């Protein structure tokens, strides 16, 4: 009885902590949404109104109903195109690299891999100037290619997929090689189908990182018609006055696609992260 009682208390405590953490995580999203439904004078009113009565869609109408000053649909299209191609191309690069580091044997493989991993300790901001000089020489400034191609060779993506590939029995490769299968055939028919959770997880992470990228997109994209959502929403901020309702409406529109994508892929995301453990061969 004592053991069952202690276990029950432990479960109740655990679920209580999880509920509190979930509330803390969702509260900023809730606050962003309800603020976007308030008239401007209520966004700074005291006491705070936790539920706007009546809610107003005026802030969304300001953003979506002015295609000249705030071409949101064009920004959305640019963000989606950049994030989609960055996600797909990044998966291809990371998959091929991870396959080489996990399933192929060549001199210095492990040493080169850990040398590559050491670059994860370098802050990404250090690469801003070299990357900008590169895209400027290629003529990609103010072009979506500038926010797609420079970050495709993701060290984190290679590391994550390599760790997942190492959990797949190597005997499957050997059996396929005996039957005359090539390396690419093994990768396409065996490794990739067994690695769907990790691939979906990495694809989602790539999509999300590119979708939310602000600093690099702000440096590379200057034309209003070339901006992505995070950069375009900067125009909602006044120079001397902040319109919080309009800004929150823009922030919610920017975050909504990523939130929906996470809701639909969370099962694969969690499984992919858990299975990508620190293995080795």
Q: Quick one: DSSP state of residue 47?
A: S
pLDDT band (50, 70, 90) for residue 271: low
pLDDT at 239: 57
Cα torsion 81, 83, 87, 90: sign: positive
Are 158 and 243 within 8 A, CB to CB? no
Domain boundaries, the chain: 69-275
Segment 40-57, tens digit of pLDDT = 777 777 787 788 878 888
One-letter-per-residue 3-state SS of 43-78 = CCCCCCCCCCCCCCCHHHHHHHCCCCCCCHHHHHHH
- Pick the range with the lowest mean pLDDT from 13-22, 68-77, 118-127, 233-242: 233-242
Say which residue, 280 or 60, is predicted with more confidence: 60
pLDDT at 272: 62
The CA-based angle 157-208-275, given to 5 degrees, is 45
- Pick the range with the lowest mean pLDDT from 38-42, 81-85, 141-145, 188-192: 38-42
Integer Cα distance of 221 and 223 in angstroms: 6
Integer Cα distance of 250 and 255 in angstroms: 9
Q: Give every CB contact of residue 28 below 8 A, 6+ residues apart in sequence.
A: none
Segment 96-131, tens digit of pLDDT = 999 999 888 888 888 999 998 888 888 888 888 899
Cα torsion 4, 7, 9, 15: sign: negative
Integer Cα distance of 44 and 191 in angstroms: 54
User: Both ends of the chain: CA-CA distance in Å?
Assistant: 46
pLDDT band (50, 70, 90) for residue 86: very high
Q: Is the pLDDT of residue 1 over 60?
A: no
The architecture in CATH of the region 69-275 reads Orthogonal Bundle (1.10)
Average pLDDT estimate for 2-27:
84
Task: Give the DSSP per-residue string, 194-230.
Answer: HTHHHHHHHHHHHHHHHHT--HHHHHH--SGGG--HH
pLDDT at 29: 87
Q: Give every CB contact of residue 88 below 8 A, 6+ residues apart in sequence.
A: 203
pLDDT at 82: 94
Integer Cα distance of 141 and 159 in angstroms: 30
Segment 156-182, tens digit of pLDDT = 899 989 988 988 888 888 888 888 888
pLDDT band (50, 70, 90) for residue 273: low
**Residue 121 corresponds to which tokens in the numbers above?**
């300790």
Integer Cα distance of 72 and 229 in angstroms: 7
């Amino acid at each position: 009885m004592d053991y069952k009682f202690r276990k029950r208390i432990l479960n109740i405590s655990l679920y209580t902590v999880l509920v509190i953490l979930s509330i803390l995580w969702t509260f900023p999203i809730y606050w962003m949404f309800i603020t976007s439904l308030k008239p401007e004078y209520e966004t700074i009113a005291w006491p705070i109104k936790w539920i706007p009565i009546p809610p107003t869609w005026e802030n969304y109408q300001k953003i979506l109903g002015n295609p000249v000053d705030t071409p949101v649909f064009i920004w959305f299209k640019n963000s989606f195109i950049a994030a989609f191609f960055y996600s797909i191309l990044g998966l291809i690069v990371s998959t091929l690299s991870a396959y080489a580091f996990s399933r192929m044997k060549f001199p210095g493989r492990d040493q080169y891999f850990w040398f590559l991993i050491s670059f994860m300790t370098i802050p990404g901001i250090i690469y801003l100037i070299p990357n900008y000089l590169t895209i400027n020489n290629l003529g990609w400034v103010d072009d979506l290619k500038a926010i797609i191609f420079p970050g495709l060779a993701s060290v984190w993506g290679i590391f994550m997929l390599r760790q997942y590939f190492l959990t797949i029995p190597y005997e499957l490769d050997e059996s396929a090689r005996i039957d005359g299968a090539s390396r690419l055939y093994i990768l396409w028919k065996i490794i990739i189908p067994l690695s769907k959770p990790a691939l979906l997880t990495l694809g989602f992470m790539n999509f999300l990182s590119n979708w939310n990228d602000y600093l690099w997109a702000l440096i590379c994209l200057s034309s209003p018609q070339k901006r992505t959502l995070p950069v375009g929403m900067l125009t909602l901020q006044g120079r001397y006055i902040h319109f919080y309702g309009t800004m929150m409406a823009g922030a919610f529109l920017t975050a909504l696609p990523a939130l929906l994508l996470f809701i639909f892929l969370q099962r694969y995301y969690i499984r992919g992260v858990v299975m990508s453990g620190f293995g080795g061969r």
